[in-house]
Chain A
Amino acid sequence: MPYHSIVCIKQVPDTANVTAEAMKADGTVNRAALPAIFNPDDLRALEIALTVRDRHGGTVTALTMGPPMAAAALRECLYRGADRAILLTDRRAAASDTLATSYILSQAIKTIGNYDFVFCGRQAIDGDTAQVGPQCAEKLGIPQVTYLEQLVELRDRTARIRRNVGNGWELVEVRLPVLVTVLDTAAEPRPPAARRVMKYKRARVRAELEAAVKAESEAAAGGKPLPADQLDAEVERRAERLRCAGLMMEQWNLDDIRADLAWCGLSGSPTKVHRVQAIVLTKSGYTEIPATEEGVRRLIRELVVDHTLG
């Protein structure tokens, strides 16, 4: 029996390797200076989806919400075997918190439709919240199974899943459709297949074609851009060529998924960032504390002020 899976993936800045070069003078992190990587847990989610398809048939659709550069992560999915890749990109989705993000993703998932599984990584390394998966499940009105360690059995649209809950494990049974979040210990992600890399490295979303055409025309015309209609025509010409070769990845905006704008972006986000303090990453020297009541009290006060102690 074939099963259709949607995998939600995210391109994230590599927060695990923040180097000195990525720090701005004011001590904050310069996101742009960090390499963008495929969120590690999501790679495992993709692997589980691909395994299901390889064993039972069906399809794997990779879905990501992000800026046009996130198309690189979608290509990674195609290299590894995904059948379809969709980029959801829209300026009006910027500044979405987890609630707004899950609303947008759930609308995209409904638009894709006809799914048995939605797989997500347990959490993304840039936020570590682990919230989007469960929030999506709620918005879709389907059950959730978090922390998948192993998909033990799949038969007659019923899955048996072993979940790792930290201090032990549980075996649960659920009828599909279900949203599953996947741990990084669940599977060793397959490497990109060389033949698929050869083919899909040319795959593009429309925004990438637009940026390329614009840059090329500016370079050729010595900074003077071509009229908009000529640019559009060129983008369309290239898109058509890629479509014929099966290399045009889909790009959707909020209208394509019938999203209610009140629930998207800033207005759809109940949480607001009130303040951000940078943590100085370099070892901030050494302070000797006198072994006296006053010295110790001063030390504890410092640790409270910088939130090391709650």
Chain B
Amino acid sequence: MISVNRSGEVWVFAEQEDGSVHDVALELCGKARELADRLGVRMGVVLAGWNVRELSYRFIGHGADRVYLVEDRRLEHYQTQPYARTVCTLIEKHKPQIVLFGATALGRDLAPRCASQMRCGLTADCTDLDIADVPDPAAKTTHKSLLLQIRPAFGGNIIATIINPERWPQMATVREGVMPLREPNLQRKGEIVAEKVAFEEQDFAVRLIERHREPRKVNLKGARTIVAGGGGVGSKANFKLIHDLAGAIGGAVGASRAAVDGGFIDKAHQVGQTGTTVRPALYIACGISGAIQHRAGMEESAKIVAVNWDKEAPIFGVAHYGIVGDLNQVIPMMVKAIKERPKE
């Protein structure tokens, strides 16, 4: 546990594997940059591994003022305890006020171990983060500039806002694809701070014998938002519209069978009876008629937005929001509105 330190930095744990940076770490950098600016403090990244110095510049491009670099041959592959010791050693030394991790398999293994060691709070799977003053009526004070950690709870039936007023750092994991991945600024300057961590024998109690990685597959099931295109998109070239909208939201790309059969996109993206069944928080169907076989795979989505120029299309029967219009005009408007969206 560290004491409340209002000049502390906002940190992101840099998840990487075999020298390749996980998107969620870069997404978090964008958010952390925004939070740090609002707090008027620096943004830092903890980068641990072996031969990973080059990656520092990517984090700097995505907003880091400082990259705390810990290189050790024994950190080549992720293991819980040495990585937890690395993060905790640096937290104790630099006293950041916020530490963010991706809510990935790795992040959800590492963050609780660190939080337990620091005896601080940890909120899992946040879908949004914000800064606000929070009055504490019992103590007749106001906690200045706390991190609001917003997450679905109770099987997604409620949205809870969690705070961590006293025992810092304020820690949270954030789901993949929730925060938009911003364009890097390659001109940005930042500092690389090389750090040393003293490991102990017992940190290496778990030995990696063998590992097997599958190429990153389309992760429709795990996606919180999906933008799906159908036959109405018209061509493979025009399917770029769907990718653009998904990119702006930070969502996955889905498709109807007509789009797959038309060769606009790979079969792995198909939603429906003979594709994947999905239940995202938001499903945006563009140029999809809404045949029963398609609906079977998506109608349990929490929010459905449909864009179709035929107002009789059955997709509107399951949609919460419908836009009757030409997707070629509506999608660019949506991309623009998302980029300029107000913060709550």
Among listed A35-43, A210-218, A237-245, A296-304, interface-contacting one: A296-304
Closest to B108 in A: A130
Distance to closest chain B CB from A152 (angstroms): 9
Q: Does B73 contact A (CB under 8 A)?
A: no
Q: How near does chain B come to A253, taking the closest CB pair, in angstroms?
A: 23
Known: A145-B206, A276-B160, A304-B341. A165 touches B326 (CB 8 A): no
Kindly state the interface size class of chain B when it binds its partner: 35 or more
- Which of these binds chain A: B164-172, B256-264, B270-278, B287-295? B164-172
On chain A, the residues within 8 Å of B165 by CB distance are 272
User: Which residues in chain B, 293-327, are within 8 Å of chain A measured between CB atoms?
Assistant: 302-303, 305, 316, 319-326
Cα distance A171–B163 when bound, in Å?
37
* CB–CB B158/A300 < 8 A: no
Chain A residues within 8 Å of B109, by CB? 134, 144, 146-147
**In the assembly, what is the distance between CA of A223 and CA of B235, in Å?**
77
Pick from B179, B210, B320: contact of A171, CB below 8 A. Answer: B210
Report the separation of the CA atoms of residues A146 and B78 in the bound assembly, to the nearest whole angstrom: 13
B39 at the interface (CB under 8 A from A): no
Residues of B within 8 A of A157 (CB): none
A181 to chain B, nearest CB (A): 9
Please name all residues of chain B whose beta carbon is closer than 8 Å to the beta carbon of A130 when the two chains form the complex: 108, 112, 124
Quick check: is B140 within 8 A (CB to CB) of the other chain?
no
**How many Å lie between the Cα of A173 and that of B249 in the bound state?**
40
Q: How far is the CA of A170 from the CA of B213 in the complex (A)?
A: 8
Q: Does A193 contact B (CB under 8 A)?
A: no
Q: Do B80 and A269 have beta carbons less than 8 Å apart?
A: no
Which residues, 93 to 140 on A, are CB-close (under 8 Å) to B? 97-99, 102, 125-139
Mostly helix, strand, loop or mixed at chain B's interface? mixed
Contact A168 B211 (CB under 8 A): yes
Query: Are A168 and B342 within 8 A (Cβ)?
Result: no
A224 interface residue (CB < 8 Å to B): no
Nearest CB to that of B79 among chain A residues?
A172
The answer to whether residues A270 and B166 also contact, given A291-B324, A296-B333 and a CB cut-off of 8 A, is yes
Q: Mark B106-138, 1 if CB is under 8 A from A, else 0.
A: 101101110111011111110110000010000
The answer to whether B160 and A275 touch across the interface, beta carbons within 8 angstroms, is yes
Q: Are A307 and B127 in contact (CB under 8 A)?
A: yes
Q: Tell me how far the C-beta of B316 lies from the nearest C-beta in chain A, rounded to whole angstroms.
A: 7
Q: In the complex, what residues of B have CB within 8 A of residue A147's CB?
A: 105, 109
CB neighbours of A279 from chain B (8 A): 152, 156-159, 302
Nearest-CB distance from B264 to chain A (Å)?
22
Q: Does B194 contact A (CB under 8 A)?
A: no
Q: How far is the CA of A259 from the CA of B92 in the complex (A)?
A: 26
Are A271 and B322 also in contact (CB < 8 A) when A144-B80, A278-B158 are? Answer: no
**Which residue of chain A has the shortest Cβ distance to B250 in the bound complex?**
A310
Q: Are B162 and A273 in contact (CB under 8 A)?
A: yes
Query: For the complex, what is the distance from the CA of A275 to the CA of B149, rounded to whole Å?
Result: 10
Write the nearest CB–CB distance from B21 to chain A, whole angstroms.
14
B338 touches A300 (CB 8 A): yes
Contact in complex: A310, B179 (CB < 8 Å): yes
A310 near B124 (CB under 8 angstroms)? no
A16 at the interface (CB under 8 A from B): yes
State whether the Cβ of B208 lies closer than 8 Å to any Cβ in chain A.
Answer: yes
Q: Are B105 and A166 closer than 8 Å at their CB atoms? A: yes
In the complex, per-residue mask of A17-55: 1 if CB is within 8 Å of any chain B CB, else 0? 010000000001100000000000000000000000000
Instruction: Determine if A271 and B121 form an interchain contact, defined as CB atoms under 8 angstroms apart.
Output: yes
- Binary per-residue interface labels of chain B (35-58) against chain A in the complex, 1 for a CB within 8 Å, 0 otherwise: 000000000000000000000000
Closest to A132 in B: B112
Quick check: is B212 within 8 A (CB to CB) of the other chain? Answer: yes
B342 touches A301 (CB 8 A): yes
Contact of A283 with B320 in the complex, beta carbons under 8 Å: yes
Residues of chain A within 8 A of B120, CB atoms compared: 99, 270
A126 to B124, CA, bound (A): 13
Q: Does B125 contact A134, Cβ atoms closer than 8 Å?
A: no
Docked complex: B144-164 residues within 8 A CB-CB of A:
148-150, 152-164
Report how far A167 CA is from B307 CA in the complex, Å: 33
Docked pose: A253 CA to B333 CA in angstroms: 60
Q: Which residues of B contact A284 (CB under 8 A)?
A: 320
- With both chains docked as a complex, state the minimum distance between the C-beta of B20 and any C-beta of chain A, in angstroms: 11
Chain B residue nearest to A145 (CB atoms) is B206
Which residues on A are within 8 Å of B, measured CB to CB?
Answer: 13, 15-16, 18, 28-29, 97-99, 102, 125-139, 143-147, 160, 165-175, 178, 269-279, 281, 283-293, 295-297, 299-301, 303-305, 307-310
23 residue pairs bridging A and B, Cβ less than 8 Å apart: A131-B111, A131-B122, A134-B109, A135-B115, A146-B108, A165-B105, A166-B104, A168-B212, A170-B208, A172-B208, A174-B206, A174-B207, A178-B205, A271-B163, A272-B165, A275-B161, A276-B160, A279-B157, A293-B333, A296-B323, A297-B337, A299-B323, A303-B303
